[in-house]
Amino acid sequence: MKFGLLGARLGHSLSPQIHREVFRQLGIDATYELIEVPAEKLADKVAELQKTYRGLNVTIPHKVAVMDSLDHIAAEAKAIGAVNTVLFDNDGASGFNTDYFGFARLLEHNGLVLKGKDVCVLGTGGASRAVLQCVKDMQAKSITVISRVIENAPEDIQAHYTVRTYDDLQTLGGDLLINCTPVGMFPKVGVSPVDGAVMERFAAAVDIIYNPAETKFMKQARQQGKTTVNGLFMLVAQAVAADEIWLERKLDAGLIADVTDKIAKLL
């Protein structure tokens, strides 16, 4: 079986190592490749891959646009408005979102309870959509989304959440600050979407970036004694959920922690 990750620039990705480790542990003969494609060629590429691939993961910047190339969209992906997993079978091309599951497992694994909490999310892209839905379902008291320009945020996000700018963030605070932007991701490390003063007003920080293992965003929080979590556990958890869709079987929950420990040594 053939699988792959569809994105624009993928040199930083650990997805091949994660899925290959899962396949190894399960004794499955399968390949997983990085597939870079620009936005204007996305539809043609999906149609081409459907002929020989069993499934795809989808990442920046294609999680929303890929939906136009699919025959079916699962309920959770429709609600979120983004797809990160595609299954090719006799029914055509079906889209799912396992980022939601991955983020929920990350919170659970790190003992972060959001019910009744004030949460602030940086970014309005495909990953942000899954995180926002998860935070909402976990009954956070308030959810604020930070966008460079409020008017540029997707209309559905503006309709369902409080959207503010980075300038507004200078006076905001809360229980958890979540970075869903690519700022600080390898290879452009050493930068953060916020300054250290912002971190003073939040109790904990989650960065869904996993490479580097500690972004500047996380370092700013750690140096102030805040709880910090990176996105590696989320990445592995969503990958295992994607494998369950592709392989049509439930996998042992312990597989997530085991693979995370192995992949962490590569960072």
- Domain of residue 20, CATH code: 3.40.50.10860
Domain count, the chain: 2
Q: What is the pLDDT of residue 257?
A: 94
Q: Are residues 105 and 221 in the same domain?
A: yes
How much is the average pLDDT of 212-230? 97
| pLDDT category of residue 60 using cuts at 50, 70 and 90 | confident
Does residue 40 register a pLDDT over 80? yes
Q: Is the pLDDT of residue 187 over 90?
A: no
User: Same domain for 45 and 114?
Assistant: no
Same domain, yes or no: 118 and 77:
no
Residue 117 banded pLDDT, cuts 50, 70, 90 = very high
- Active site annotation includes 63: yes
150 and 201 in a single domain? The answer is yes
pLDDT score of 265 more than 80: yes
**How many residues does the structure list for the chain?**
267
Q: Nearest CA to 228 among 163, 265, 177, 184? A: 177
- Which tokens is 107 given? 């919170």
Name the pTM for this structure: 0.92
End-to-end Cα, the chain, rounded Å: 28
pLDDT, the chain, mean: 96
Task: Output the six-digit token pair for 111.
Answer: 């003992």
CATH at 132: 3.40.50.720
Q: Report the chain's C-alpha Rg in angstroms.
A: 18
Whole-number Cα distances in Å, 218 to 1, 99, 185, 214: 38, 20, 12, 6
Beta pairing partners, 88: 93
Domain check: are 116 and 177 in the same one?
yes
Q: In this structure, are 139 and 256 located in the same domain?
A: no
State residue 263's pLDDT score. Answer: 94
Q: Once rounded to an integer, what is the mean pLDDT over residues 144-157?
A: 95
> Which residues lie below 8 Å from residue 74, measured CB to CB, with a gap of 6+?
94, 95, 96, 97
When pLDDT is averaged across residues 199-209 and rounded to a whole number, the result is 97
Q: Quick check: 126 pLDDT over 90?
A: no
114 and 55 assigned to the same domain? no
Which residue range forms the structural domain that includes residue 46? 2-97+233-264
Residues 57 and 142 in one domain: no
Q: How far is CA 124 from the centre of its chain?
A: 12
Q: What is the pLDDT of residue 11?
A: 80
Residue 266 has pLDDT above 90, yes or no: no
Annotated catalytic residue, options 2, 45, 51, 63: 63
Each residue of 4-37: pLDDT tens digit? 999 998 987 899 999 999 999 999 999 999 999 9
Q: What is the Cα–Cα distance from 224 to 176, expressed in whole angstroms? A: 14
Q: What is the pLDDT of residue 49?
A: 98
Does one domain contain both 186 and 240? no
